[in-house]
Structure 1
Amino acid sequence: MEPKWLEWAKQLQSIAQAGLTYSKDVYDMERFEQIRDISVEIMSQHTDIDNSIIKKLFANETGYATPKVDIRSVVFKENKILLVRENDGEWSLPGGWGDIGLTPSEVAVKEVKEESGYEVKAKKLIAVMDKKCHPHPPSPYHVYKMFIQCEIIGGHAQSGLETSEVGFFDENELPKLSVARNTKSQIQLAFKHLHNPQEPVYFD
């Protein structure tokens, strides 16, 4: 579970964002800017991220605050799972933020092609997770993570602009994972669906 300070910071940011969107009174706008500044200060005190960077992250968000959506593609070949090496050197399931105009399955297919070179077909949803409920490092955003199982239909291994290597890994021989993107327990859940196709969709 995420720490209480992070929960408070994100709640304050959400209140400030909604207030700045819907308020008309100049004095109310000033108060909501102050609330946003407090949320930035909380984040800065508990992380090594500079105030100005955090404020830019928050200032980019407008309108009513809603969770961001991260989509991860689960692909197996010969009972091994497809992982890509991110440019930071750690490994993850292919994926990224949901795109406007694309369905979740279309994003899953696109991300696999761009990051690994494989052409896939989306087969089933295996999980929808709230990032705060899983052992990820602190994040300024509230994120829902969707895991979609896909089947290879073509292509070949090829790294992309955001990845440097492509590989398939056994459940017991995983490389160093990018825990900001996916955790060991999430990879293990993916393997549960491989071994038991009737495994129900996990949520929260």
Structure 2
Amino acid sequence: MMMADISNKPVEQVEGLFCNEVGYQTPKIDTRAAIFKEDKILLVQEKNGTWSLPGGWCDVNVSVMENTIKEVKEEAGLDVVVKNVIAIQDREKHNQPIYAYKVCKIFMLCEVEGGVFKENSETIGFDYFTKDNLPILATEKNNEEQIQMCFDAYKAGENWKTYFD
């Protein structure tokens, strides 16, 4: 009932989210890849037309780094290497809508090693954007503040200090 109240969701819907869970409730982990080319950031276009950093839920038995690499391959068709952790964020403090469960978002700075985009079940395209010319973002996944943070980390290079809250 507390989770339903916090998330403004019906109790039945919240029960459905947690009915298969046993033991202590822990947050889900969402990884996001920040990839740059010529001072532009790569975003993938979702099926609904909005744009996001490639990423998604961290699979069981897959590390955060492995998941980031896998998600970029699935959504953008690119092979990447993870260079740095940009941030570890409590999703609820940065993205809307508030979910009935907690999410820990981990942003990773990556470099492309190869690959080619292929339309897939999640995305219909990708492109690189300047920080001043962003498309309509999938703000439940990433917002302008988070994209700006990725640009700041890219510009800072090895001097970047991981942000966390």
TM-score (norm 2): 0.91
Identity across the alignment (%)? 41
Q: Deviations over 1:56-82 (max 9, x none)?
A: 112133221111111111111111111
1:96 pairs with 52, 56, 60, which one? 56
Tell me the CA shift for residue 122 of structure 1: 0.8
Tell me the CA shift for residue 101 of structure 1: 1.4
Q: Does 1:202 align with 2:163?
A: yes
Q: Contact 2:43–2:129 at 8 Å: present in 1 too?
A: yes
Tell me the CA shift for residue 185 of structure 1: 0.2
SS in 1 for 2:16: helix
Structure 2's unaligned 5+ residue stretches are none
Q: Compare relative contact order (CA 8 Å, sep 6+) and give the higher one, 1 or 2.
A: 2
Tell me the CA shift for residue 52 of structure 1: 3.9
Q: Contact 2:109–2:154 at 8 Å: present in 1 too?
A: no
Distance 1:9 1:179, change over 3 A: farther
- Cα distance in 1 for partners of 2:63, 2:95 equals 27
Q: Contact 2:95–2:142 at 8 Å: present in 1 too?
A: no
Amino acid at match of 2:161: P
Corresponding residue for residue 180 of structure 1: 140
SS in 2 for 1:196: helix
- Cα distance in 1 for partners of 2:119, 2:39 equals 21
Corresponding residue for residue 102 of structure 2: 142
- Cα distance in 2 for partners of 1:188, 1:202 equals 13
Higher-helix-fraction structure: 1
Tell me the CA shift for residue 192 of structure 1: 0.3
Tell me the CA shift for residue 135 of structure 1: 3.9
Amino acid at match of 2:107: F
Tell me the CA shift for residue 51 of structure 1: 5.0
Q: Contact 1:43–1:54 at 8 Å: present in 2 too?
A: no
- Cα distance in 2 for partners of 1:74, 1:159 equals 20
List 4+ stretches of structure 1 deviating above 3 A: 50-54
Structure 1's unaligned 5+ residue stretches are 1-7, 11-38
Higher-strand-fraction structure: 2
State the superposition RMSD in angstroms.
1.8
